[in-house]
Structure 1
């Protein structure tokens, strides 16, 4: 806690400095002044957490100094030193936010008590300040945990000048499996756009669990066509710097409280990437402006595919997939029709393998494959699913490929997304349409660790990130990462990492 002393009596000023050093190593003397005028300059320059000041001083008294500071927006807490016990100035002091008085001569125990109280207040306010930062408000809104409270609305309107219902827009860059290698360049591009484009303000953030980078636009000049600007200027820049390994989506919302609904709509828009490709910005406006054709799966397309499976001809299988891909891309079709055609393609592979080469596939794994296809956004994803299945067929279903099955990949993704909400293996198994016993067995078989250990490891990694990347206290971090309380979090953290969270923060701070 940074402290400035403003006191005209040198012995008291110097004595106070010595006392602070003895009371706590966390108390940092940021400056000293002998009167109100000098105090003004020191406080303006140092911006301390607490000012310990005398009332009666030459040139400018303490309350006049504090009044000027309040007019300038300085919110440092104040402790008044006074030799007077009548406090005739109490009303004026209260108006300036002063609630702590110490009579001269100052007693060390009273000073310690006051400073401990103020340190706790400063810590709490700093934590609250972090929680109510505009980026945190936006992230909470996007993830659905932002409550529409008077405090949040006041922070938006009074602190940041943002109306809770003013038009906002979401620009999302979805990177999927290329997230780790491409996120930094995408974030840099979005930050540069935010800094140089005039006519809107923005918040740029990233969601590792959703493999996407997000820009929230607000204070937008409605006379400008921002969707068109991003489509013509920003999207090409992102695609050229990610080797076309990105999907860019645009959605408009009515204020911060609707950002979660906007994100959900974007999830539906992403499906259209199979029909529209990633060369242009995907948006509802673009979808509304196109005409779609029905897609019928041609029976003759299956003949070559069946032969490729029977002969286990991987080259011919790849050619069949290219033929299927070109057929789907020849015209613009609805995502639902494309996904159904992909399912037919997958069933052709499975049924042929079962009939002609005695391939036995677990029904639960088949269900996971079908769900993986329905959840895919890119042709690259669909091709990987088909190739993974085909390799499994070529190996007779008995040898390990070294790759995660779609079922376990989806389970891992759900852990990443819902770890903080206390999700259980039973809930994940139910969502995936398999039994908990089967999921437990497959998870351990493919990852080498149990489902519970994976959740624990994910939580610990998130705790590490929050310890080093934020100023949040252990209680807040425990709540954000799904631990029941900070003590239990500390125990688990030490079991995994070898040191307590506080020690980890200190060692790596």
Structure 2
């Protein structure tokens, strides 16, 4: 029966076993604690009783939450593979019935995702050569050094965490940006019984600190999780917590308190503001995109209810109303003012409307709809004016609520749009230059995701191919190249002028969520990596200070 408890000794009762000559020297558990380790299922295949128990204890010393299973030979190990679903197999070579190398070959054939490690007392080149052939992670000789074993476990666990993060980011990208359906086969997590998604929104360029704190606290609680940067918003982190065993999903039930502890730790560590949106618990992994959207909506309640709070999507609907009639009354008044060219009065009404949103605590969905309807009012008026005058005034973009820190900022934005529309409509006498507006858009939004097709469809209401040709004909370069050059020059300026920002911070500041891709583009553009440029400028600055000091002396 595949039960780790039935064939695993605890730290208390294994003392008598270790009275025999151990293969490993005991050491402090805390010394080897790994922040990025993840709980793994580990199968130890060894026919020597004392050696097997010592290996089991070493693994538990490394991570007491690990599930460790035991088999006395290769045949028993094969019979356990489907039920125990190990992530990692430690196997001796010489064993009865099926030896370690044959077991390794069968695991490689039937379970290619399982990591295998050979532990043997034979320093034999032929054995090692065969182990390499069957893709063994490592060939360890007895007696095994404790530090060597712990380093190996850390490396494998780290790889699992990294692979999981990459997998989640790819799945989210496929679901959210490529509109692909989610498939649960062949993922890094095996059978997922339940999961929940959280979106963590921090002030400033603090994503790395947020991830470090969340990773540390969740690891301490033994919660399986994956962290990933949000590709749409550079101040957000996606946290995915999951359970692979229905009997152990209590952590998901305590998820709100756990995340509130993360907020407190962030406030104590960084002294900043952190708000978290949390989805409901899901059991169908194909609803990953839905879970993400729930969390993304939930975190917006910080605009209405304040920061440093965990906003649970399962509670928000009952707490905050929509109040359709109340909202439409306001929108009708604003529309009437705009139609009559009374933009000053319309701007005042907008400020009053948004201020009351927080007072009556309307739902985020109501706030979304308000902003959309006010934008539609403006665009309707702009369209009618364009037809009347024959000019091409750009339409107003839909507001992305995630970019704002408060409802006051949203009110200012909408009111300013009203006032700006009035000013432009009154003073516009020359034809609108769409290419200059595109360049201005890049200068104002280079730190965000910019896609030409989106601009053509949602901002300029024209064909993307036409917009691309128009830009290249007038500017002399393609839009993508102009955007790249502008971002690279901004990055260079930041690297040369701000010695506190890391290369990762600079990448985020100029619109790159993929750190490696940013380095690749920077090197291609300037012929040197950003890290090298930063080091050179730092050295030049230090040398300059040194020369100034010598002259002063």
With the length of structure 1 as denominator, give the TM-score of the two structures: 0.51
The answer for the alignment partner of 2:230 in structure 1 is: 207
Q: Give the drift of 1:393.
A: 5.4
Measured in 1, the distance between the counterparts of 2:410 and 2:287 equals 30
Structure 1 residues 352 and 195 mapped into 2: Cα distance closer, same or farther (>3 Å)? same
> Would the aligned equivalents of 1:203 and 1:215 in 2 still touch at CA under 8 Å?
yes
Query: Number of paired residues?
Result: 392
Structure 1 residues 199 and 119 mapped into 2: Cα distance closer, same or farther (>3 Å)? closer
User: What do residues 132-190 of structure 1 show as CA deviations (whole Å, max 9, x unaligned)?
Assistant: 6234324523542585345x46xx35xxxxxx222222221135xx452x324433442
The answer for the alignment partner of 2:161 in structure 1 is: 134
Measured in 1, the distance between the counterparts of 2:123 and 2:363 equals 78
Q: Give the drift of 1:324.
A: 2.5
> Would the aligned equivalents of 1:440 and 1:451 in 2 still touch at CA under 8 Å?
no
The answer for the alignment partner of 1:263 in structure 2 is: 292
> Would the aligned equivalents of 2:263 and 2:275 in 1 still touch at CA under 8 Å?
no
The answer for the alignment partner of 1:450 in structure 2 is: 479
Q: Give the drift of 1:386.
A: 4.8
1:292 aligns with 2:322: yes
1:216 aligns with 2:244: no
The answer for the alignment partner of 1:474 in structure 2 is: none
Note the residue ranges of structure 2 that are not aligned, 5 or more in a row.
1-20, 28-45, 60-87, 105-117, 139-151, 175-181, 492-502, 505-513, 537-553
Note the residue ranges of structure 1 that are not aligned, 5 or more in a row.
1-37, 45-62, 81-86, 158-163, 416-423, 462-467, 470-478, 483-488
The answer for the alignment partner of 1:94 in structure 2 is: 101
Q: Give the drift of 1:297.
A: 3.6
> Would the aligned equivalents of 2:101 and 2:131 in 1 still touch at CA under 8 Å?
no
> Would the aligned equivalents of 1:200 and 1:217 in 2 still touch at CA under 8 Å?
yes
User: What do residues 54-77 of structure 1 show as CA deviations (whole Å, max 9, x unaligned)?
Assistant: xxxxxxxxx999x95998389999
The answer for the alignment partner of 1:251 in structure 2 is: 280
User: What do residues 376-411 of structure 1 show as CA deviations (whole Å, max 9, x unaligned)?
Assistant: 776335643653664475465689999986799789
Match runs of 1:428-447 below 5 Å? 429-430=456-457, 433-436=461-464, 437-438=466-467
The answer for the alignment partner of 2:371 in structure 1 is: 342
> Would the aligned equivalents of 2:275 and 2:309 in 1 still touch at CA under 8 Å?
no
The answer for the alignment partner of 1:328 in structure 2 is: 357
Measured in 1, the distance between the counterparts of 2:441 and 2:329 equals 24
> Would the aligned equivalents of 1:143 and 1:260 in 2 still touch at CA under 8 Å?
no
1:165 aligns with 2:192: yes
> Would the aligned equivalents of 1:293 and 1:331 in 2 still touch at CA under 8 Å?
no
User: What do residues 65-108 of structure 1 show as CA deviations (whole Å, max 9, x unaligned)?
Assistant: 9x959983899999x9xxxxxx9x9974634758xxx999x9xx
Structure 1 residues 428 and 331 mapped into 2: Cα distance closer, same or farther (>3 Å)? same
User: What do residues 466-502 of structure 1 show as CA deviations (whole Å, max 9, x unaligned)?
Assistant: xx99xxxxxxxxx9989xxxxxx98x7764252699x
> Would the aligned equivalents of 1:305 and 1:317 in 2 still touch at CA under 8 Å?
yes
Match runs of 1:237-248 below 5 Å? 244=273, 246=275, 248=277
Aligned counterpart in structure 1 of residue 55 of structure 2, from 68, 72, 77: 72
Match runs of 1:311-326 below 5 Å? 320-326=349-355
Match runs of 1:97-496 below 5 Å? 97=104, 133-144=160-171, 148-150=184-186, 152=187, 156=189, 164-175=191-202, 178-180=203-205, 182-194=206-218, 198=221, 200-207=223-230, 209-210=232-233, 211-219=235-243, 222=250, 225-230=253-258, 233-235=261-263, 244=273, 246=275, 248-254=277-283, 258-269=287-298, 278=307, 280-290=309-319, 291-294=321-324, 295-298=327-330, 299-300=332-333, 320-346=349-375, 362=392, 365-366=394-395, 369-372=396-399, 379=407, 380-381=409-410, 383-384=412-413, 386-387=415-416, 390-391=419-420, 394=423, 396=427, 413-414=448-449, 425-426=452-453, 429-430=456-457, 433-436=461-464, 437-438=466-467, 450-452=479-481, 454=483, 495-496=524-525
Measured in 1, the distance between the counterparts of 2:193 and 2:378 equals 51
Structure 1 residues 205 and 70 mapped into 2: Cα distance closer, same or farther (>3 Å)? farther
Aligned counterpart in structure 2 of residue 498 of structure 1, from 527, 532, 550: 527
Q: Give the drift of 1:323.
A: 1.5
State the Cα RMSD in Å: 6.6
Measured in 2, the distance between the counterparts of 1:384 and 1:282 equals 25
User: What do residues 11-55 of structure 1 show as CA deviations (whole Å, max 9, x unaligned)?
Assistant: xxxxxxxxxxxxxxxxxxxxxxxxxxx9x679x9xxxxxxxxxxx
Structure 1 residues 307 and 167 mapped into 2: Cα distance closer, same or farther (>3 Å)? same
Measured in 2, the distance between the counterparts of 1:190 and 1:430 equals 38
Partner SS, residue 467 of structure 2: helix
Measured in 1, the distance between the counterparts of 2:314 and 2:390 equals 46
Structure 1 residues 384 and 410 mapped into 2: Cα distance closer, same or farther (>3 Å)? same
Moved more, 401-410 or 209-218: 401-410
Structure 1 residues 308 and 275 mapped into 2: Cα distance closer, same or farther (>3 Å)? farther
User: What do residues 210-265 of structure 1 show as CA deviations (whole Å, max 9, x unaligned)?
Assistant: 34123333355528852442576555666796765745334322276654442133
Partner SS, residue 285 of structure 1: helix
> Would the aligned equivalents of 2:280 and 2:314 in 1 still touch at CA under 8 Å?
no
With the length of structure 2 as denominator, give the TM-score of the two structures: 0.48
